[in-house]
Amino acid sequence: MTAEVFDAIWLTVQLATISVVLLLVLATPVAWWLAFTRSRLKIPVEALTTLPLVLPPTVLGFYLLILLGPAGWLGSWWVSLTGETLTFSFTGLVVASMIHSLPFVVQPMRQAFQDMGTGPLEDAATLGAGPVDRFFSVGLPQAKRGIVTACVLGFAHVLGEFGVVLMVGGNIPGRTKVVSITIYESVETLDYATAHMLSAGLLLLSFAVLVGVFAVNRSIPVRAGQ
Partner 1 sequence: MSGGRLELDFRLVRGRFDLAISESLALDGVTVLFGPNGSGKSMTLRTIAGLETGAEGIVRFEETDWLRSDSNTFVAAHQRPVAHVFQDARLFSHLDVAGNLGFAERRAKGAGPDVSRQDVIEVFDIAHLLQRMPQGLSGGERQRVAMARALLTRPRLVLMDEPLSALDVQRRAQALNFIEQIPERFQVPVIYVTHHIDEVVRLANQLVLIAGGRIEASGRSADLMSRLDLPPFTGRFEAGSIIEATVRRHNAEFALTELEVTEGVKVEVPFLDFPVGEVVRLRVRARDVSIAVAKPKGLSLRNVLPARVEEVQAEADTAFAEVRLSVAGQAVRARVSRASAHELKLKPGKAVHAMVKATALDRRLLARR
Outline where the chain has alpha helix (H). Answer: 3-36, 42-54, 57-68, 73-82, 90-116, 119-126, 131-134, 140-142, 144-160, 163-169, 179-188, 192-219
Give the x-and-dash track for 15-34 against partner 1 (CB under 8 A). --------------------
Q: Please identify which residue in 137, 172, 189, 192 interacts with partner 1, judged by CB under 8 A.
A: 137
Minimum separation from the CB atom of position 108 to partner 1 (A): 17
| Residue 66 contacts partner 1 per CB under 8 A | no
Which residue lies nearer to partner 1 by CB, 83 or 130? 130
Which residue lies nearer to partner 1 by CB, 38 or 40? 38
Considering only CA atoms, which of 98, 71, 97 is closest in space to residue 85? Answer: 71
Which residue lies nearer to partner 1 by CB, 196 or 223? 223
Q: How far is Cα 53 from Cα 80, in angstroms, rounded to an integer?
A: 31
| Residues of this chain, 92-131, that bind partner 1 according to CB under 8 A | 119-120, 122-131
| Residues of this chain, 207-226, that bind partner 1 according to CB under 8 A | 221-226
Q: Rg for the chain (alpha carbons), in Å?
A: 20
Q: How far is Cα 16 from Cα 32, in angstroms, rounded to an integer?
A: 23
Q: Please identify which residue in 12, 19, 142, 182 interacts with partner 1, judged by CB under 8 A.
A: 142
| Residue 45 contacts partner 1 per CB under 8 A | no
Q: Are 140 and 37 in contact (CB under 8 A)?
A: no
DSSP secondary structure letters along 162-205: -HHHHHHH---TTTT--HHHHHHHHHHTT-HHHHHHHHHHHHHH
Per rule CB under 8 A, count of chain residues that contact partner 1 = 25
Site residues (vs partner 1, CB under 8 A): 119-120, 122-131, 133-134, 137-138, 141-142, 144, 221-226
